[in-house]
């Protein structure tokens, strides 16, 4: 049973095989390989894939695992129409599609509020990158939309061309091969809105910067810059518009490609950088770094009379600083308290140059990924759920396999181990949840190979690290000797010296061979030590720290260390990052996409059986199929099974009124299911054999046609018999309606009661669609018919009260306080101020208050003008009454006249030493809505002396 069907309960319920998967099986194979007869072999799987591929059905399921066969042509199955078709539909409701998997992962995430990931794997050129794009595009269209969310989604989508430009390259197998691993989290809020994202990158193939095999290219961005940049930018960067001119670009002898338009891609990348929020300065410095790598590659070294390296008079030198020029020719060695400059040999100088180029590009790539993450970062601290997309390099086998292929294939071993663990775990959990005994599944456990590579102190990585750090002359061949010494008896490891006579003929003396779960791969040890060390001389780092390029400054930080502590090797870093990735994935629900190449030549319509068979093997599809069919090929909720097949049993047709599981038991007994063919779980029926299900489906198809024919015959007979009765009833209804209309103005009678009911209903329906939207809307309310006058008025008042209540509840505390001040101001000034009508729309502020505001800035709670009357003559004098946190004050303009603390107010004015005969200040008694109301009321009886 698929994880999705175990978890999700949407719509009418889950189902493990849709009607399409059953009824279409004879035409284009089966949509779910689980439904193939259990006894059929790997050949049946291939035949099914080939049959579907021949009619452009490139997607097939194994449970919830999706197989995608690359057609090497455009198919009209990715339009907005197709996206809408798959939105919110149960997984097996429609034919297999990448949109079905993406949508169900999304819907399950919303339903259960948990995290998911989609693992996209396959050989280089199988379509992993394109599949990732399709998923991102689907979420961009199907998720809720707003201006802010559109910005986030635009940045997610536009991160792809930037990462492809800096991390993808043409290889022998793929014109747009990802030369790094990518894991991207898409973050969703509780409403399902995409609100952020984060990208992790793994093992960029930096060696490609300085060397490419014949028929391959460097990273796309180099060619895009040279071919697409305008003349002014090229002049500023000191570049020629000729990719053949640059050593780092021309080694593969295929700088231009018919399938790649570098000029157009350059415009796409420039636009994407702007969308992702790279500013002009960042873009300028970024292109400057790319140009500097090209200039470095064109620096050549000659030998002086002592055999040491000296820079030739290359025109590229004018683009390289004098300090860096010196750093590429000499090495700084610390000897006690002094530094000694030791000249390089030509080989050492070339190594230093290439190491610098790789370091600059690799660190810049990391900076680009970090900058993209900053632009995608979600600032809302509320809990988020995520869907992760893991687009990882596929298993690689070339004519010559080096350190990079060793790391990539080790990664695939770890993911295969995780894949089997998660699949077995999910299957076993469902069996336990349904109370069905779990039957162990036989499969190849590749833990023995993973341990061979990464076991601490004993694995190949540990031996390689020891050899890299060993003092003395360690070489690739001494590393191979150590492997032979420690791995000599391992069943999955062999070298030329350890092999038998037959195998020895296929191995060079500098090779070792590993028997992976996907098959044998031979690795050449040449370059393992250097690539694993990936060292950059400390004095060159110090030079780079002085760069004026802001990106380089961030990539080579001064606090990077004094160089005395040896950094971790590349293999060790990669092993640690894979361990962290495994922990991330283990905490999420898994979905899988397995991408297959249909042929090696990228020809549309061609299906290479041998190639596809090899991929089916090393992607572990047969193991996954065996796990999914561990005893039961099909399982379905009782309600769904009964709803579909109830016509096959007289006890369940047309309605079953009892418990669904009992109805299913009656149904399968009537169909003659044998005890070994099915099991009854707690919520589902489990059917062991696909043939049992197909027999049931065939019986249903026959029954459906018979039921349909009987229904048609019955309907025709009923129509002929009742036609005159229908006409007569229609006549009566029409007559009563007309008579009701004529007598509509009279008192309610039998003749007009139904017509008046129709009038009421019609008015209420029209009123429902035309209600006023605001309190101030006085004209929208529909005029009622006479019979609804009283009811209409009651409804109008109720609706008005509802809108007022809704408005009041929507007020923020700040807005509410402002309105309360307006109410008080209105009571104070109404009828006393000429400009009152024009000022009530503004928050109240007396200009006289502002003059004394500086007496108690930031602590005045309230201020109001009052009047003082002289004792002799009762001459009025304006004053300001100020209320602070601790006291009440009287002020004239900006001059403080008197203060009384609240603590001293305990009785009438006589108790405070204020003579009752003195003149008083009048305080407005009607102030009652502000939070200081109680203070005003307590002050009212007192005579405040001045």
Task: Show the tokens assigned to 620.
Answer: 């572990």
CB contact set of 157 (below 8 Å; sequence gap of 6+): 136, 137, 140
Q: Compute φ and ψ for 203, nearest 5 degrees.
A: 50, 70
**Pairwise CA distance, residues 268 & 274, whole Å:** 10
Helices (H), 660-787: 660-671, 690-742, 753-768
Q: At what angle do helices 570-586 and 403-434 cross, to 10 degrees?
A: 20
Strands (E), 374-442: 385-391
Place of tokens 């695992």: 65
Task: Count other C-beta atoms under 10 Å from residue 515's C-beta.
Answer: 16
Burial 542-563 (b: 16+ CB within 10 A, else e): bbbeebebebbeebbeeeeeee
Looking at the annotation, which residues are catalytic?
124-125, 129, 174, 177-178, 394, 396
Dihedral angle sign, alpha carbons of residues 464, 465, 466, 471: positive
Q: At what angle do helices 621-628 and 609-618 cross, to 10 degrees?
A: 60
Q: Any bridge partners for residue 516, and if so which?
A: 519
Determine if residue 663 is labeled as part of a ligand binding site.
no
Determine if residue 129 is labeled as part of a ligand binding site.
yes
- Of 155, 366, 381, the residue nearest 277 (C-alpha): 155
Determine if residue 127 is labeled as part of a ligand binding site.
yes
**Strand, helix or coil at 932?**
coil
Q: Any bridge partners for residue 61, and if so which?
A: 32, 66
Under 8 Å between Cβ of 800 and 792: no
DSSP code at position 857: T
**Pairwise CA distance, residues 29 & 81, whole Å:** 25
**Strand, helix or coil at 169?**
strand
**Pairwise CA distance, residues 457 & 605, whole Å:** 49
Chain centre to alpha carbon of residue 602? 30
Task: Show the tokens assigned to 254.
Answer: 């295929």
Determine if residue 125 is labeled as part of a ligand binding site.
yes
Task: Count other C-beta atoms under 10 Å from residue 473's C-beta.
Answer: 6
Determine if residue 904 is labeled as part of a ligand binding site.
no
Name the region of 943 (left: φ>0; alpha: ψ -120 to 50; beta: rest): beta
Strands (E), 603-690: 634-637, 678-680, 684-687
Cα dihedral angle (138, 140, 142, 147), rounded to 10 degrees?
-170
Query: Contacts from 414-418 at CB under 8 Å and sequence distance 24+?
Result: 414/450, 414/578, 414/582, 415/119, 415/121, 416/446, 416/517, 416/620, 417/445, 417/446, 417/447, 417/450, 418/582, 418/585, 418/586
**Pairwise CA distance, residues 762 & 768, whole Å:** 10
Q: Any bridge partners for residue 519, and if so which?
A: 516
CB contact set of 795 (below 8 Å; sequence gap of 6+): 767
Place of tokens 């370091």: 359
**Pairwise CA distance, residues 391 & 402, whole Å:** 22
> Peptide bond before 654: cis, by omega within 30 degrees of 0?
yes
- Of 459, 468, 465, the residue nearest 487 (C-alpha): 459
DSSP 301-359: EEE-TTSBEEE---GGGGGS-HHHHHHTTEEEEEETTEEEEEEPBHHHHHHHHHHHHHH
Determine if residue 873 is labeled as part of a ligand binding site.
no
Residues contributing to the annotated binding site: 122-129
Residues contributing to the annotated binding site for ATP: 122-129
């Amino acid at each position: 049973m698929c994880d999705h069907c175990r978890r999700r309960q949407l719509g009418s319920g889950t189902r493990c095989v849709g009607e399409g998967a059953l009824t279409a099986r004879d035409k284009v194979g089966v949509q779910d390989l689980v439904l193939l007869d259990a006894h059929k072999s790997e050949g049946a799987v291939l035949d099914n894939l080939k049959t579907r591929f021949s009619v452009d059905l490139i997607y097939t399921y194994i449970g919830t695992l999706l197989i995608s066969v690359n057609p090497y042509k455009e198919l009209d199955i990715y339009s907005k129409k197709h996206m809408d078709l798959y939105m919110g539909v149960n997984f097996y409701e429609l034919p297999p599609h990448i949109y079905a998997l993406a949508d169900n992962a999304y819907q399950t995430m919303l339903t259960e509020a948990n995290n998911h990931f989609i693992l996209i794997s396959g050989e280089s050129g199988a379509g992993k990158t394109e599949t990732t794009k399709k998923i991102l595009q689907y979420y961009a269209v199907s998720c809720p939309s707003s201006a802010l969310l559109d910005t986030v989604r635009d940045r997610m989508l536009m991160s792809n061309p930037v990462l492809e430009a800096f991390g993808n390259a043409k290889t022998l197998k793929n014109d747009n091969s990802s030369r790094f691993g990518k894991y991207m989290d898409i973050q969703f809020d509780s409403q399902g809105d995409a609100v952020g994202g984060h990208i992790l990158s793994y093992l960029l193939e930096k060696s490609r910067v300085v060397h490419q095999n014949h028929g391959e290219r460097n990273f796309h961005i180099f060619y895009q810059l040279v071919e697409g940049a305008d003349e002014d930018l090229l002049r500023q960067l000191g570049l020629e518009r000729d990719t053949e001119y640059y050593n780092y670009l021309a080694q593969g002898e295929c700088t231009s490609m018919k399938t790649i338009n570098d000029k157009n891609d350059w415009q796409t990348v420039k636009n994407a950088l702007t969308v992702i929020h790279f500013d002009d300065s960042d873009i300028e410095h970024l292109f400057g770094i790319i140009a500097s790598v090209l200039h470095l590659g064109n620096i050549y070294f000659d030998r002086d009379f002592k055999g040491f390296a000296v820079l030739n008079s290359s025109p590229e030198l004018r683009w390289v600083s004098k300090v860096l020029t010196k750093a590429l020719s000499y090495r700084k060695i610390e000897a006690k308290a002094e530094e000694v400059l030791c000249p390089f040999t030509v080989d050492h100088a070339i190594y230093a140059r290439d190491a610098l180029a790789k370091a600059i590009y690799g660190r810049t790539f990391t900076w680009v990924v970090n900058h993209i993450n900053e632009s995608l970062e979600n600032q809302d601290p509320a809990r988020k759920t995520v869907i992760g997309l893991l687009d990882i390099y596929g298993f690689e086998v070339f004519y010559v396999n080096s350190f990079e292929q060793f790391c990539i294939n080790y990664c695939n071993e770890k993911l295969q181990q995780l894949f089997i663990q998660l699949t077995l775990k999910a299957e076993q959990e469902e069996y336990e949840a349904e109370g069905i005994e779990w039957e162990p599944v036989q499969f190849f456990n590749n833990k023995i190979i993973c341990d061979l590579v990464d076991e601490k102190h004993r694995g190949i990585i540990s031996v390689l690290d020891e050899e890299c750090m060993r003092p003395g002359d360690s070489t690739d061949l001494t590393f191979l000797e150590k492997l032979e010494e420690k791995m000599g008896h391992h069943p999955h490891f062999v070298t030329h010296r350890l092999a038998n006579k037959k195998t020895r003929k296929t191995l060079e003396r500098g090779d070792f061979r590993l028997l992976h779960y996907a098959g044998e791969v031979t690795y050449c040890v040449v370059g393992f030590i250097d690539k694993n060390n990936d060292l950059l001389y400390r004095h060159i780092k110090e030079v780079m720290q002085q760069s004026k390029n802001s990106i380089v400054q961030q990539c080579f930080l001064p606090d990077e260390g004094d160089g005395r502590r040896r950094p971790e090797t590349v293999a060790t870093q990669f092993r640690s990052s894979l361990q962290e990735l495994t922990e991330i994935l283990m905490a999420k629900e898994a979905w899988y996409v397995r991408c297959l190449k249909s042929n090696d030549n990228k020809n549309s319509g061609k299906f290479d059986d041998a190639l596809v068979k090899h991929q089916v093997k090393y992607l572990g599809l047969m193991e996954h199929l065996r796990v999914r069919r561990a005893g039961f090929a099909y399982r379905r909720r009782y309600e769904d099974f009964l709803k579909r097949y109830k016509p096959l049993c007289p006890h369940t047709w047309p309605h079953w009124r009892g418990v669904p599981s009992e109805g299913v038991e009656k149904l399968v007994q009537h169909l003659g299911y044998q005890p070994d063919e099915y099991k009854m779980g707690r919520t589902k029926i489990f059917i062991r054999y696909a043939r049992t299900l197909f027999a049931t489906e065939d019986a249903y198809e026959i029954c459906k046609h018979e039921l349909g024919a009987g229904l048609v015959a019955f309907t025709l007979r009923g129509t002929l018999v009742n036609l005159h009765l229908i006409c007569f009833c229609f006549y009566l209804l029409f007559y009563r309606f007309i008579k009701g209309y004529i007598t509509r103005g009279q008192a309610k009678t039998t003749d007009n009661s139904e017509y008046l009911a129709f009038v009421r209903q019609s008015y209420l329906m029209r009123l429902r669609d035309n209600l006023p939207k605001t309190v101030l809307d006085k004209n929208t309310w529909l005029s009622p018919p006479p019979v609804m006058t009283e009811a209409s008025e009651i409804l109008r008042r109720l609706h008005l009260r509802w809108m007022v209540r809704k408005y009041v509840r929507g007020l923020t505390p700040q807005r509410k306080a402002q309105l309360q001040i307006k109410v008080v101001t209105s009571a104070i000034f109404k009828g006393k101020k000429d400009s009152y009508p024009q000022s009530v729309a503004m928050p109240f502020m007396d200009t006289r208050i502002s003059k004394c505001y500086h007496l108690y800035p930031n602590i005045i709670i309230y201020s109001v003008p009052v009047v003082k009357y002289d004792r002799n003559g009762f001459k009025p004098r304006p004053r300001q009454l100020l209320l602070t946190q601790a006291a009440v004050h009287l002020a004239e303009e900006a001059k403080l006249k008197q203060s009384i603390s609240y603590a001293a107010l305990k009785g009438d004015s006589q108790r405070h030493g204020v003579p009752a005969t003195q003149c008083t200040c009048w305080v407005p008694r009607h102030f009652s809505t502000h939070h200081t109301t109680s203070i005003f009321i307590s002050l009212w009886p007192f005579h405040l002396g001045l």
